[in-house]
Amino acid sequence: MRSEESGAGFDRYAAFIRDNATWPTLALLRRRAEGALWQERRDPATVRRFLNEKPTSALGRLALARVLLAERDREGAEHEVHDAWRSEQLSARLETEMLAAFPDFVTRADHIARMDRRIGAKDFVSAMRAAVRLGEPYPSIVKACAAAMAKSSNARALLDKVPKEARQDLGYMLCRIHWLISNDGIAEATGLILAVPREALATQDTDQWWRERRVLARKLLDLGDVKTAYQVVREAAPPADEYYRAEFHFTAGWIALRFLNDPTTALAHFTHVDEGSSNPIVLARAGYWRGRAAEAAGRLQEARTNYEAAAQYSTAYYGQLARAKLGLGDAALRDPPDPDPVDRARILGSEVVRAAENLYSIGERDLAVRFVTALAESSIDATILVALAKITTWYEDPQATLLVGKTALARGFALDLYAFPTFGVPQYPTLGFDLDRSIVYSVVRTESGFDPRDWSPAKAVGLMQVTPEAGRDTARRFGIPYDWNRLICDSAYNTQMGAAELAGLMRDYRRSLLLVFAGYNAGRGRVEKWIEQFGDPRNPKVDPVDWVERIPFAETRNYVERVMENLHIYQARFADRGRQQVLTPARLPTSYFPGSVAP
């Protein structure tokens, strides 16, 4: 039923959804059902009853629009069609169906908005279909954008070929800004991006516009133009994505606090970072930086209150920093909820829990991982999540255990122990020196999520995500054979090679874990460049918290923070008390803990 080729009709989908309210992937099945409503031309009563005025897909919107049009609510029908046409990812066939069914509804403005949004999504095939319907110069815009986003050698020529009168198109402007930032045209990119009023982006991909703004702002910081960097961030249209929205508020506050020395303005931004979020990573970040802003303003009791709020989230990087500020020491891991007799009976009778266990028992491990993960993403029942985590642990599936625990943790459920599995990394022969297993587990958790078959677009493979280049270099340095097939298929060999690379980084960076993890993700060359630009975080005069936030790549910033927080938890889980090397006042430079907080 999950497949588009299943042949299931609306009645079958609707019955399954009605009778299996706790089953995973119901959102997907609902979209399939909405598609069937459209294709089968179901009666208005059925459409309204199922959709309840809240379609979740383009086909659901079209089914509702057809009903509204039949009821002579042209305005309501037009709204649904406009929204679907501008915002949704549509196949060529569905676009044709829409235009045939609603020939008078889709305007030239809708075609432009669709083209621009598909450009933002880097869906240039769909963007070109919209452009062809519009005629020149729009196909030239899409062609130039595709070249700019791909960093093609002819991108500049194609961008310049677009007529000047067409260069105010927002899709074109986004691509030109992207190309300029990539080619150090910072002044021109800044002028263009500040010329776009926030309200003009209402129909655009605000997430992609934010991604360009955050890169541009950091380039401006590197050039010392702090006020303009702040302006670029402050004037952004709020992103649609929850993560990007939190990042938008954080970045504005961080620049105001750390570069403009304006804690009052910073606090106003930090107040919005965690709005509507239950994710400990976001909540801890918000509390910690509100504490830093209050501390900078001299409001020490307010600072302490915010640090205490952040410190509740001891599995999160900034929660751990807040605990260190307060002198609270090791992470406080929560025990999972213990079901009462009623909950136990409900779990034993749960069809989805039995299904998960049955999949493992018959050896369908891959299907079990997908099933359990989908169930964890949809369930709001903590006792069911604990039951699933116990099953995945019993069957020694660290990947699924992590996914269940991590998903639960992001929603505020106390599955701390399951979110950090202590199994799944094989024994391996040591190269160099014996690396703390907490470090290896921390890297594996972030790199591959304990999936030994993980394979990135950059050909990084296995538990430790070792690239062919890194593998060959490690083999050469330690005088052992390099074997690509073993790197893919032999988890012990893969872990050995990754651990050896980490050991080399530990030696090169004198055990500075910030630099080690940044180097493992981005390479030694980039780390050396960042040390030159932002200072050496091993120097007590350099704030290592800011150093991490100055890393220009969002992926590497996030990577370092996630591995650092993993390490603190794994050291606590493995009880490596004598080898603690991260996020404790005794081990970190004093600049991690500027000033003091009220007792």
Choosing from 69, 103, 137, the residue where a domain stops is 103
Residue 318 lies in a domain: no
Residue 295 lies in a domain: no
3-state secondary structure string across 287-313: HHHHHHHHHHCCCHHHHHHHHHHHHCC
- Using a pLDDT cut of 90, give the percent of the chain over it: 72
Residue 427 lies in a domain: no
pLDDT higher than threshold 70 for residue 45 = yes
Place of tokens 């079901």: 339
Are 448 and 577 in the same domain? Answer: yes
Are 477 and 559 in the same domain? Answer: yes
Residue 360 lies in a domain: yes
Give residue 3's pLDDT band: very low, low, confident or very high (50, 70, 90). low
Are 507 and 559 in the same domain? Answer: yes
Are 96 and 115 in the same domain? Answer: no
Give residue 343's pLDDT band: very low, low, confident or very high (50, 70, 90). confident
Do residues 399 and 369 make contact, with C-beta atoms less than 8 angstroms apart? yes
Residue 16 lies in a domain: yes
Mean pLDDT of the 513-522 span:
96
CA dist 436 and 424 (Å) reads: 16
Are 36 and 74 in the same domain? Answer: yes
Mean pLDDT of the 430-454 span:
94
- Using a pLDDT cut of 70, give the percent of the chain over it: 95
What does the pLDDT read at residue 140? 98
Does the model's pTM come out above 0.85? yes
Cβ atoms within 10 Å, residue 433: 12
Q: In terms of residue numbers, what domain contains 506?
A: 437-583
As given in the structure block, the two tokens for residue 253 are: 């506050």
For 115-186, list the strands marked E by DSSP.
none
Are 44 and 175 in the same domain? Answer: no
Are 33 and 13 in the same domain? Answer: yes
CA dist 428 and 121 (Å) reads: 43
Structurally, the chain folds into a number of domains equal to: 4
Mean pLDDT of the 264-283 span:
96
Are 563 and 504 in the same domain? Answer: yes
pLDDT higher than threshold 60 for residue 587 = no
CA dist 29 and 537 (Å) reads: 50
Are 445 and 359 in the same domain? Answer: no
Do residues 144 and 162 make contact, with C-beta atoms less than 8 angstroms apart? yes
> How many CA atoms, within 13 angstroms, populate the side-chain half-sphere of residue 264?
0
pLDDT higher than threshold 80 for residue 592 = no
As given in the structure block, the two tokens for residue 92 are: 């060529």
Any idea what the CATH number is for the domain that residue 528 is in? 1.10.530.10
Do residues 571 and 502 make contact, with C-beta atoms less than 8 angstroms apart? no
Mean pLDDT of the 284-301 span:
98
Mean pLDDT of the 274-279 span:
92
Instruction: For residue 490, give the DSSP letter.
Output: -
Residue 272 lies in a domain: no
Q: Looking at per-residue confidence, does 592 or 472 come out higher?
A: 472
Q: What are phi and psi of 455, to 5 degrees?
A: -145, 115
Instruction: Classify 404 as helix, strand or coil.
Output: helix
Instruction: Classify 8 as helix, strand or coil.
Output: coil
Question: How far out from the chain centre does Cα 179 lie?
Answer: 24
Mean pLDDT of the 484-490 span:
95
Question: How far out from the chain centre does Cα 141 lie?
Answer: 29
pLDDT higher than threshold 50 for residue 402 = yes
Are 450 and 572 in the same domain? Answer: yes
pLDDT higher than threshold 50 for residue 594 = no
What does the pLDDT read at residue 19? 78
**Of the ranges 80-89, 442-451, 581-590, which one carries the lowest mean pLDDT score?**
581-590
Beta bridge partners of 461: 455, 466
Mean pLDDT of the 515-520 span:
96
List of residues 6+ apart from 481 with CB closer than 8 A: 475
Choosing from 103, 130, 152, the residue where a domain stops is 103
Q: What are phi and psi of 594, to 5 degrees?
A: -65, 140
Give residue 580's pLDDT band: very low, low, confident or very high (50, 70, 90). very low
Mean pLDDT of the 260-289 span:
96
pLDDT higher than threshold 70 for residue 589 = no
pLDDT higher than threshold 80 for residue 576 = no
Mean pLDDT of the 240-264 span:
97
Residue 325 lies in a domain: no
Are 62 and 89 in the same domain? Answer: yes
Are 117 and 83 in the same domain? Answer: no
Q: Is 301 exposed, middle or buried (0-12, 13-18, 19+ CB in 10 A)?
A: exposed
Mean pLDDT of the 551-557 span:
95
Choosing from 77, 103, 129, the residue where a domain stops is 103
Mean pLDDT of the 132-141 span:
97
Mean pLDDT of the 261-272 span:
98
pLDDT higher than threshold 60 for residue 599 = no
Residue 303 lies in a domain: no
Task: Give per-residue pLDDT as tens, 175-184.
Answer: 999 999 999 9
Question: How far out from the chain centre does Cα 395 lie?
Answer: 28
**One-letter identity of residue 479:** G
Say how many Å lie between the first and final Cα of the chain, rounded. 60
Instruction: Classify 461 as helix, strand or coil.
Output: strand
